Amino acid sequence: MKKRTPMVAGNWKMNKTLSEACELLESLKPELAEVSTVDLVVCTPFIDLPLAKDLLAESNIKVGAQNLHWENSGAFTGEISAPMLKELCDYVIIGHSERRAMFGETDETVNKKVVAALVVGLKPIVCVGETLGENEAGQTEAVVDRMVREGLKGLSQEDAKNLVIAYEPVWAIGTGKTATPDQANDVHKNVVRPILREMFGEEIGEGMRILYGGSVKPGNAAELFNQSDIDGGLIGGASLKTADFVGIVQGAL
């Protein structure tokens, strides 16, 4: 029996038109209806959020966004704020490696976004993880340590209770290369967890969920999720197909 309720969250990235989203959500709902021991989330593109909110209203699947701006409103063309999202969803992914690599996100902007989300009652899923080069240079621990400390800077214990961390080694995202269960658990247990305990106290740090992300598939999910400090997964590519996402959720049961 796991100490923490596992979570499986889908990150649809920039995929699914409204009609495609409708089809996927309608097929996921009955397949996952009996799941009560795993928290389920789908993080859709902004435009699919109202649909997801409506379709999943009576279901056991929560809705999340994939990004937000840290200001509440104003002259920020093309951006979406925390109060806007709060009417549509419960979770928001922050600091995904694709946003860090392609859209200039830094530890500082991640921290601002985390604070903005928490203020309105959104639950951030904060992503951290090293690149292939950093991994090969033996910098995994230093990079993850910095991202966790800087990303969660200034947060209270109460804030921490509403946070989920996702460790996503960049070299494993969308590449088909998965960290081995031991490799991933080592980072969760010996790098991220001790920092969370140090920052927020033993009890809260021990209770926080740390998801793994990076080429999770139905075939490797159970072994990953069985590790002591892997509390579920953030799923990219495999969250776009009902059978794959359901298979991964089964790995968490």
Footprint on this chain of ligand PEP (rule: CB under 6 A): 11, 13, 168, 173-174, 213-216, 234-238
Residue from 98, 130, 168, 188 carrying the catalytic annotation: 168
**96 included as an active-site residue:** yes
Range list of β-strands (E), the chain: 7-11, 39-43, 61-65, 91-94, 123-128, 164-167, 209-213, 232-235
Q: Which is nearer to ligand PEP, 205 or 214 (CB)?
A: 214
Residue from 96, 105, 130, 188 carrying the catalytic annotation: 96
Q: Residue 233 Cβ, how far from ligand PEP at the closest point, in Å?
A: 8
CA distance 55 to 242: 16
**168 included as an active-site residue:** yes
Q: Which is nearer to ligand PEP, 126 or 204 (CB)?
A: 126
**Helix, strand and coil in the chain, % to nearest 5:** 50, 15, 35
CA distance 99 to 177: 20
Q: Residue 213 Cβ, how far from ligand PEP at the closest point, in Å?
A: 3
Contacts of 29 (CB under 8 A, 6+ apart): 55, 56, 59, 61
Q: Residue 114 Cβ, how far from ligand PEP at the closest point, in Å?
A: 17
What count of Cα atoms within 13 Å lies in the side-chain half-sphere of residue 236? 20
CA distance 85 to 116: 11
Q: Which is nearer to ligand PEP, 10 or 205 (CB)?
A: 10
Structural tokens at position 200 = 């927020």
What count of Cα atoms within 13 Å lies in the side-chain half-sphere of residue 31? 16
Q: Which is nearer to ligand PEP, 124 or 213 (CB)?
A: 213
Residue nearest to ligand PEP (CB): 236
CA distance 253 to 222: 8
Helix (H) or strand (E) holding 148: helix 140-151
Q: Residue 38 Cβ, how far from ligand PEP at the closest point, in Å?
A: 17
Q: Residue 167 Cβ, how far from ligand PEP at the closest point, in Å?
A: 10
Q: Which is nearer to ligand PEP, 64 or 205 (CB)?
A: 64
Q: Residue 215 Cβ, how far from ligand PEP at the closest point, in Å?
A: 4
Using CA atoms, how far residue 211 sits from 10, 80, 231, in Å, is: 11, 25, 5
Q: Which is nearer to ligand PEP, 185 or 205 (CB)?
A: 185
Give the residue numbers annotated as catalytic, written as ranges.
96, 168
